[in-house]
Structure 1
Amino acid sequence: MPSAEEASTSTANDAPLPSFRSLGLIDPLLDALSQLNFTTPTEIQSSSLPPALAGRDIIGVAKTGSGKTAAFALPILQKLWEEPKGLFACVLAPTRELAYQISQQFESLGAGMGVRCCCIVGGMSMMDQAVALAKKPHVVVATPGRLNDHLENTKGFSLRTLKFLVLDEADRLLDLDFGPIIDKILKVIPKERSTYLFSATMTTKVAKLQRASLSNPVRVEVNEKYSTVDTLLQYYLFIPLNQKDVNLIYLVNSLAQNSIIIFTRTVHDAQRLSIMFRTLGFQAVPLHGQLSQSQRLGALGKFKSGGRKILVATDVASRGLDIPHVDVVMNYDIPTHSKDYIHRVGRTARAGRSGKSITLVTQYDVELLQRIEAVIGKKMELWPTDNEEIALLRERVDEAGRVAVNEMKEDAANGRGVGGGRKRRRDDQGGRGGGKDERDRDDDVVEAGMPRKKSKGRR
C-alpha cells in the first residue's frame, strides 16, 4: 500500500464552493440537508465527497468543527441507499460524547432513508447493547474498547459484512493508546472495504495507521495552519499559584451572564471546583471521565440547553463536541500541549461567532504560555482585574474550598466516587481501551445546584 506521501492529493483552494446537488448527492440526502439547514458544503465536504462517492479511500486532515462528520456520513449513506443490506458501516471515535454526536448526525441525515444506527460505548449496559446489535443496525458508532468487548463476548455479532470503516479523530484515538485494540479490530473486518481516516493532525502514529488500513487513498487537506480563529479574543491572567481559585471565581463572577466552559487538567479539580461553584451560588455542572455515561450526557444536555451556565470539564470535552453558544472558555490549568489549547478554545467562537478565552498562568507556566503564543502566531492580552474585589472574595472562596474538600472526603469515606455514586471500575475513554470495563448503573446527573451561601462578592 502507498505511503501518505505517495497517496494522491486533493487540496481545497479559494474557488467558489459547489452545491451539495452538484457534488452528486441523491434526493433523500439533499432533503435531509435542507431540513438541517446545511446549505453549502464546507471545504472538507466539497473536497472529499467526489472521490468518496467514486469509491476511493479518504485521508481527511481538517480541524474540529470543519464538518468532518457529514463528509464521511454522506457517502456512506448514499452507498447504503444503493445497496441496503446488513451491518454496513462502523465508525470509531475516541470518546463517548463524540460517538453519540456522530450517531445522532447519521440518524438525522438518514432519517428519510430509514437508517438504523447503534451507539456502542462504555459506561452503558452490555446486555442492552447486545440487544441493539441483534436488531441489525446499518451503522455502528463505537469507542474501540467497547466494540472489541462485543466482538469477543457477544454471540452472533461480527463485522464480516462491513463495507465501510471510519476512524474519526485518529490522532486522538492513538494518543489514548487505542492502537493495539484498533489492530485487533482491523484483523476481523473484510479487507475489501472502503476506509475513511479523519484527523486534525498527521502524526507519525496516524501515518502508520493509514499505511496499514487504507488502499490507494485520496488525501484531502484543508485549514493546514493549525491555529485559532480570528473571531476569538485571547487573554491571560498572571497570578501566583496559591491564588488560582479566588481569581477563577473573580473571573466567573465578572462574566456571570455568559455561558462558560472551564477546563481543568484533573478529574479531582473538575469535581472540586464544581462543588465550590455550587457553594458560592453559581449554576455549574461537572463533566469528566469518572461520571457515569448518563451523568455525562445529562451534564452536556443541561449546559447546551442553558439550564447550567458553567461547565467544569476535563479534556473529555475539548475535542469534536459541537456545543453552540459558548461565550467564554477558561483554562484553569494551562495545557501542556499547544494543540490541546487550540482544541479547548475552539469550543467558543464557532461558525463565525465571536468568543473569548482566558488562561490562568502561574509562575510555573510562563514557558508553556510562550510556546502556545508561538504556535498560534499572536500574543495574548492581559485580562484586567480589580485587586480590591479579589481581596473581598478571598475569605468566601477559601471557605468554599474547605467545603469542597470535606464533601469529597465524605464521599470517599462512604464508598462513593467523584461522580457521587458507588465506586466504579474506570472506563474513561469507552471500554477496555481507556481503563477497566465499567458496568455502572445509570445515575442521575450530578448537578451543582442550589447555593448553600451567597457570595459577598457576587454582583
Structure 2
Amino acid sequence: MAETFKDLGVCDQLVEACENLGWKNPSKIQAEVIPHALHGKDLIGLAETGSGKTGAFALPILQALLESRQAFFACVLSPTRELAIQIADQFEALGSGFGIKSIVLVGGGEAAIMDQYIKLARWRPHIIVGTPGQLLYHLSNTKGFSLRTLKYLVLDEADSLLNDEFEKSIDEILKIVPRERRTYLFSATMTRKVKKLRRVCLRNPVKIEVADKYSTVDTLEQHFCFMPIKCKDCYLVYILEKKCGISSMVFTRTGNATRFIALMLRNLGLGAISISGKMAQSRRLEALNQFKAGECNILICTNVASRGLDIPSVDMVINYDIPSNPKDYIHRVGRTARAGRPGVAISLVTDENELRTFLEIENRLGMKFPELPFKKEKVLLLKERVDEAKKISRRTIKESEDKSKNWERDDAEDEDDMDELLGVENGKSKKKMRKLI
C-alpha cells in the first residue's frame, strides 16, 4: 500500500493541504480509491465509517478542479444535513488555499433558502454539497442554476440515499445531470438498491471493498446488557456514571425520547444534550458543536447522528434502543473507535423482541458479544434518584408544552383581533392586508 499521498499521484498543492490537516498517510480506502479516481474511473467504495471516505473522493475532485476551474463542477449528495455540512467543511479545509468555493444546500427556513439562492446566483461555487430534496428544490426554483456542466456526482452513504425518503428525488436528479460525468458511490454497506443504482448510473465502475458487507472495526469492544425494561434507565445512568467524564453517544428510537433522557440525565448532574430530526437545524448544529467542543460529554440522539459524522473523541456508544436492523447498528457504533482509536459499544436489551433483533445483529456480524457482569443490586441503588429525576423531567416537559399551547392560543387571538380591526371578510384579502401591515 502507498505510504504517502504523493505516492498515490496527489499533486504537491493537495499533499501540502493534507499535511496541514494532519493527514500524514492515506487510509486504506484512500489508498485503494484515489489512483482509480485520478485515472477517471467510476467508483463504488465500500468501507466502514471513520475510514476516510470523504478524503477518498474529495482529493481527486479537487485535483481535477485545479486543472479546470469552473462553477458547479462537482455535486455531493448526503442523507443528512449534518453530514452534508461536514463534507463541505472537508472540501473547504482542503481547498482553502486555492480559492475553492463550496456551498451547502440543506433545509433551514426561508432565510437559509434565500442565502443559498444568492450564493448560487452570484457566488457560483465550484462544489455543491446537499441533501437530495434541497438540491432538487433549487434546480426547480433558483433562476439560472443548473447542473449542465457538472463533471462529478458523488452519493455518500448511498444505501441510505436509496431508501423511500430519497429515492424519488435521486431519480429526478439523475435525469437532470449530464450523462458524461464521473460518478462515485460510497457506503459502509452494499444493498440491493445500491446494486440497482450501479446498473443505472455508473459506467464500468471499479468496486473497491475494504470491509465486509457487515463488519465493525477491530478496535471496537462490543457488549450487551440484559435487564427488565423498568430498570433500563437505572442501567443507563449506572454505565454513564461508571464511565464518568468520557465522551458518549446514546442512541434512542424517537426524538421525544432524546429530549426526555437528556433532561433526566441533566437532573442527575450529568452533562447531556439532545439532537434529533424534530429539532430546528440551528439547534441541531448548536448541540453538535457543544458536544464536539466538550461542553457536554453525553449526546442523546436518534439515527440522524449515526451517519458519517466525524466526531473523533467519542469513547463510547450506547444503544438505549436496539436498532431495527444490523446496518443501522453498524452506522451507530461506527461513531466510536474511528481512525484506529479504541472505543466501546454497549447495547441495552430489555425484552424478547429486542433480544431477537440483537441476536440477528450478532449473526450478521458473525460474532458473539460478551454480557457486562453488572450486579443488579448495585444498579438498583440508583432507583430512587433516577425516579425523582424522571418525575422532574416529565413536569418540565409538560410545563413547556403548556406554555407552547398558551403562545399558540395568544397568536390565534392576535390574528382574530387583527381580522376584526381590518374588518375584512374575504380570507385572501385578510392575508394581503396582513402583508401590508
TM-score, shorter chain, exceeding 0.5 = yes
Which sits farther off after the overlay, 65-74 or 93-102?
65-74
Which residue number corresponds to residue 113 of structure 1? 98
1:3-402 paired onto structure 2 within 5 Å: 16-124=1-109, 125-134=112-121, 135-175=123-163, 177-224=165-212, 226-364=214-352, 365-402=354-391
Q: Which amino acid aligns with 2:23?
A: F
Q: How far, CA to CA, are the matches of 2:268 and 2:304 in structure 1? A: 25
C-alpha displacement of 1:224: 2.5
**CA offset digits 1:267-293 (Å, max 9, x no partner):** 111111011111111111101111111
* TM-score under structure 2 length normalisation: 0.88
Describe the SS at the equivalent of 1:110: helix
Q: How far, CA to CA, are the matches of 1:170 and 1:387 in structure 2? A: 42
Which residue number corresponds to residue 9 of structure 1? none
C-alpha displacement of 1:18: 4.3
Describe the SS at the equivalent of 1:406: helix
Q: How far, CA to CA, are the matches of 2:328 and 2:188 in structure 1? A: 11
Q: How far, CA to CA, are the matches of 1:202 and 1:363 in structure 2? A: 30
Do the aligned partners of 1:91 and 1:142 also contact (CA within 8 Å) in 2? yes
Describe the SS at the equivalent of 2:300: strand
- Count, aligned residues: 402
Describe the SS at the equivalent of 2:221: strand
Q: Alpha carbons of 1:322 and 1:176: their partners in 2 closer, same or farther (altered >3 Å)?
A: farther
Q: How far, CA to CA, are the matches of 1:103 and 1:127 in structure 2? A: 19
Q: How far, CA to CA, are the matches of 2:221 and 2:189 in structure 1? A: 24
Q: How far, CA to CA, are the matches of 1:233 and 1:305 in structure 2? A: 25
Q: Which amino acid aligns with 2:34?
A: L
1:413-428 paired onto structure 2 within 5 Å: 413-415=402-404
Q: How far, CA to CA, are the matches of 1:145 and 1:171 in structure 2? A: 16
Do the aligned partners of 2:74 and 2:152 also contact (CA within 8 Å) in 1? yes
C-alpha displacement of 1:120: 0.8
Q: How far, CA to CA, are the matches of 1:216 and 1:392 in structure 2? A: 61
Q: Which amino acid aligns with 2:370?
A: E
C-alpha displacement of 1:396: 2.1
Q: Alpha carbons of 1:345 and 1:139: their partners in 2 closer, same or farther (altered >3 Å)?
A: same
Q: How far, CA to CA, are the matches of 2:155 and 2:93 in structure 1? A: 20
Do the aligned partners of 2:48 and 2:215 also contact (CA within 8 Å) in 1? no
**CA offset digits 1:415-454 (Å, max 9, x no partner):** 37xxxxx9xxxxxxxxxxxxxxxxxxxxxxxxxxxxxxxx
C-alpha displacement of 1:78: 0.8
Say which one has the larger Rg: 2
* TM-score under structure 1 length normalisation: 0.84
Q: Which amino acid aligns with 2:292?
A: K
Q: Which amino acid aligns with 1:130?
A: Y
Q: How far, CA to CA, are the matches of 1:216 and 1:228 in structure 2? A: 29
Higher relative contact order, chain-length normalized (CA < 8 Å, sep 6+): 1
Q: How far, CA to CA, are the matches of 1:24 and 1:387 in structure 2? A: 57
Specify every segment of 5 or more residues in structure 2 that has no aligned partner in the other structure, as ranges: 406-410, 412-437
Do the aligned partners of 1:259 and 1:328 also contact (CA within 8 Å) in 2? yes
Q: Alpha carbons of 1:84 and 1:336: their partners in 2 closer, same or farther (altered >3 Å)?
A: same
Describe the SS at the equivalent of 1:237: strand
**CA offset digits 1:175-203 (Å, max 9, x no partner):** 35311101111111111111111122221
Describe the SS at the equivalent of 1:381: coil
Describe the SS at the equivalent of 1:414: helix
Which sits farther off after the overlay, 403-412 or 173-182?
403-412
C-alpha displacement of 1:150: 1.0
Do the aligned partners of 1:17 and 1:42 also contact (CA within 8 Å) in 2? no
**CA offset digits 1:3-40 (Å, max 9, x no partner):** xxxxxxxxxxxxx3342112222111111011112122
Q: How far, CA to CA, are the matches of 1:379 and 1:191 in structure 2? A: 46
Do the aligned partners of 2:149 and 2:178 also contact (CA within 8 Å) in 1? yes
**CA offset digits 1:67-89 (Å, max 9, x no partner):** 11111111111111111122111
Describe the SS at the equivalent of 2:153: strand
Do the aligned partners of 2:48 and 2:216 also contact (CA within 8 Å) in 1? no
Do the aligned partners of 2:72 and 2:149 also contact (CA within 8 Å) in 1? yes
More helix by share: 2
Q: Give RMSD over aligned pairs.
A: 1.7
Q: How far, CA to CA, are the matches of 1:254 and 1:44 in structure 2? A: 36
**CA offset digits 1:96-116 (Å, max 9, x no partner):** 111011001101111221100
